[in-house]
Each structure stands twice: as C-alpha cells, then as structure tokens.
Amino acid sequence: MEKVTMYTDGSCLGNPGPGGYGTILDFEGHCEELSGGYRHTTNNRMEMMACIMGLEALDHQCNLTIVSDSKYLVDSVSLGWAKKWRDNGWRLSSGRRAENVDLWERLLDLLARHQVEFEWVKAHNGHLMNELCDQLATAAAHGSCLFEDEGYTGR
C-alpha cells in the first residue's frame, strides 16, 4: 500500500468570515497542492475541508499520515469523538447537537477507505509544510473567486 503524507491547514479572515483551505499531498517526494476559498465560513470548517479535499484527491487506498495544526480535527478523529457523535445521532455527551455534521459525515466516510494516522503540529511554529499550507489557505481566503459554503448554518 502506497505511503502518503497529507499536510493540511485552514484559514478564516474573521471567524466567521471568508475562509480557505490548503492541502499538500506528499507521495514519497512527489507533492501536489490543493486549495480553495469560501465566502462565509469558519476556521474549523476550513480545517476539515482541507482534510476532505486531500482525501477526495486520492484515487486508491493508502497508508496515510495526516499532519494538521487543528486540535479540533486531530482530537475529534484520533480520540474517537466524531465516531461517538455519529453513533449518538450527532449528539455530544452534553446532549447538544454536534457542529459541522455535513463535513464530519464526509470526512469519516473518506477516512474509512484508508489506513490513517493523525499527527498534530503546533501552528506557526516553523514546520515547513504547515507554513506552506497556511500560505495556501490564506491566499485562497483572500481570493476573488470564493465558493458558497452551503453547509455553514451560522449566518
């Protein structure tokens, strides 16, 4: 099974506000960059979208390491919280409805196709690939051709 490292980051100009995602897929030295922006969204949604878009770009099962500076993303998957939310009808342990259900559904389905390990890195701490993803995400958020985030309900 091919080894792939995916580096991801999300950005939001205000939270909520215009946002973007940046993803770099490293296929053992061959890199592919992905990015895109949305008119009105949140930082957490863009962190998730970075991961989703990278996963959707993979056309076969991989041994995948996902590197992110988002504790929300990394902990929710690695600690099994997102699966518990789904199993509980998208309810948190507090009884409140989970946020970003549309993206969690997509993400969990995509993750199930691969052998995945998450790695958290501290943001803005000199990690080269994380910094490059941040630049991609920020540039996308500043872009002139921004998409509508249909799933964002906090308008």
Active-site choice (29, 95, 124, 150): 124
Q: Is 9 a catalytic residue?
A: yes
Decide: 34 and 139 in contact? Cβ < 8 Å: no
Q: Is 33 a catalytic residue?
A: no
Active-site choice (9, 22, 114, 149): 9
pLDDT in tens, the chain (155 residues): 899 999 999 999 999 999 999 999 999 889 999 999 999 999 999 999 999 999 999 999 999 999 999 999 999 999 999 999 999 999 999 999 999 999 999 999 999 999 999 999 999 899 999 999 999 999 999 999 999 999 998 76
Active-site choice (19, 20, 47, 54): 47
Q: Is 59 a catalytic residue?
A: no
Residue 100's nearest CA partner among 58, 36, 41 is 41
User: Which domains occur in the chain, in start order?
Assistant: 2-78+114-141 (3.30.420.10)
94 Cβ partners below 8 Å, 6+ apart?
none
Q: Is 134 a catalytic residue?
A: yes
Q: Is 69 a catalytic residue?
A: yes
Q: Is 30 a catalytic residue?
A: no
HSE-up of 23 (CA within 13 Å, CB side)? 25
